[in-house]
């Protein structure tokens, strides 16, 4: 007769319980006899390798062969001299006068580009000044400007193409204008029409200077180097000589040399640049001797030039 199923499970459980007690007893005895070290554990046939602990990054250690301390103060023998203190910039030393010693250039400095001295008249002629009071240059930017005391200094700067200290202007001055209210001297590299390309506007605050060239042999040594120009004016009924002239400068030269050429003293001249023939009129009178015959001309662009009286 077979045992019942319930009896069989009871016997099986009893046997398993006995085996479990034996296993636990054996494990307990092994643990008591074994010497357990750090990081060394053996259990159920699986072993763990002992490893040394990682270094402590916060532990201070004594480092040998330290590099020298670059911040440690040392005594230096024969120290170099201290640099000179910078000068105090004040109003008195912002602009210093130019001395002869400061103008001596070194060999390296002489290799720099220097503006060459340009002659006003390339053919060896003499530069003469035309003065026009009451006009200003229209819509033309000056290449340079200076604040000067009066018209004489402005004219001198244009004649020499340099400032009052002798420093060259960036370009050759062919004409200039001076504004009395602002004391501003403006320099131009061109001249008014018809000799150049500039236009003008009436302005009582401004005076205009222009250079033109005449042959040296035609000018007396004691003669003033300027003529007064009155634009848009004519002297009626006093034409002493009517001649042909290729340009304005030649017409003025004929007036300056009228005594030798035409046997009379020319005091004023009118040049009609729009005509090729009979365009230069020489007069033995001017606006001072015959003011009632001085009239405004609006139809044609024509000026009257008054020659300055030459010294005896």
Q: pLDDT per residue over 192-217, tens digit each?
A: 988 899 999 999 999 999 998 888 77
Q: Which residues of the chain form beta strands (DSSP E)?
A: 42-43, 46-47, 126-138, 144-147, 175-179, 184-188, 199-214, 226-231, 233-235, 239-243, 268-271, 280-283, 294-296, 303-307
Q: Which of 300, 302, 301 is nearest to 283 (CA)?
A: 302
pLDDT tens for 232-241 read: 888 888 899 9
- Ranking 28-37, 134-143, 303-312 by mean pLDDT, the lowest is 28-37
Q: How far is CA 181 from CA 2, 185, 205, in A?
A: 143, 11, 7
Q: Which region holds residue 183: left if phi is over 0, alpha if psi is between -120 and 50, else beta?
A: left
Structure-model confidence comparison of residues 84 and 29, the more confident one: 29
Mean pLDDT, residues 78-103 taken together = 44
For 12, the enclosing helix (H) or strand (E) is: helix 5-33
**Residue 59 binned pLDDT confidence (cut-offs 50, 70, 90):** low
Q: Is the pLDDT of residue 123 over 90?
A: no
Domains identified in the chain and CATH numbers? 124-214 (3.50.4.10), 228-312 (3.50.4.10)
Mean pLDDT, residues 45-74 taken together = 53
Q: Is the peptide bond before 295 cis (omega within 30 degrees of 0)?
A: no
**Residue 95 binned pLDDT confidence (cut-offs 50, 70, 90):** very low
Q: Which residues pair with 241 in a beta bridge?
A: 282
- Which pLDDT value is given to residue 44? 45
Would the pTM of this model clear 0.75, i.e. be above it? no
**Residue 91 binned pLDDT confidence (cut-offs 50, 70, 90):** very low
Q: What SS3 class is residue 36?
A: coil
Q: CA 235 to CA 288: how far, in whole Å?
A: 11
pLDDT tens for 132-174 read: 999 999 988 999 999 999 999 999 999 999 999 999 999 999 9
For 17, the enclosing helix (H) or strand (E) is: helix 5-33
Q: Which region holds residue 284: left if phi is over 0, alpha if psi is between -120 and 50, else beta?
A: alpha
Give me the residue label for tokens 């180097």.
Answer: 225
Largest CA distance in the chain: 181
Structure-model confidence comparison of residues 201 and 122, the more confident one: 201
Phi, psi for 286 (deg, rounded to 5) = -145, -170
Q: How far is CA 225 from CA 189, 222, 266, 306, in A?
A: 20, 9, 16, 12
Q: CA 265 to CA 257: how far, in whole Å?
A: 8
State the chain's mean pLDDT as an integer: 74
């Amino acid at each position: 007769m077979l045992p019942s199923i319930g009896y069989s499970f009871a016997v099986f459980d009893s046997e398993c319980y006995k085996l479990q007690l034996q296993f636990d007893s054996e494990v307990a005895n092994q643990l008591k006899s074994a010497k357990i070290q750090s990081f060394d554990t053996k259990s159920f046939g699986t072993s763990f390798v002992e490893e040394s602990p990682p270094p402590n990054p916060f532990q201070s250690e004594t480092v040998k062969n330290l590099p020298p301390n670059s911040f440690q103060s040392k005594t230096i023998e024969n120290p170099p001299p201290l640099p000179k203190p910078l000068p105090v910039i004040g109003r008195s030393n912002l602009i210093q006068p130019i001395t002869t010693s400061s103008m001596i250039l070194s060999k390296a400095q002489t290799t720099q580009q220097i503006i060459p001295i340009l002659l006003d008249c390339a053919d060896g002629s003499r530069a003469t000044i035309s003065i026009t009071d009451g006009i200003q240059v229209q819509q033309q930017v000056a290449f340079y400007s200076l604040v000067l005391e009066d018209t004489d200094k402005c004219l001198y700067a244009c004649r020499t193409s340099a400032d009052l200290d002798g420093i060259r202007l960036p370009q050759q001055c062919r004409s200039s204008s001076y504004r009395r209210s602002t004391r501003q001297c403006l320099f131009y590299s061109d001249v008014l029409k018809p000799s150049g390309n500039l236009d003008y506007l009436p302005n009582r605050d401004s005076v205009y200077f222009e250079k033109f060239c005449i042959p040296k042999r035609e000018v007396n040594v004691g003669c003033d180097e300027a003529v007064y120009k009155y634009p848009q004016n004519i002297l009626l009924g006093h034409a002493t000589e009517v001649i042909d002239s290729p340009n304005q400068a030649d017409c003025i030269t004929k007036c300056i040399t009228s005594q030798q050429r035409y046997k009379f003293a020319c005091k004023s001249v009118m040049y009609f640049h729009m005509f090729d023939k009979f365009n230069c009129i020489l007069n033995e009178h001017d606006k001072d001797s015959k003011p009632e015959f001085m009239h405004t001309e609006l139809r044609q662009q024509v000026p009257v030039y008054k020659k300055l009286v030459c010294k005896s």
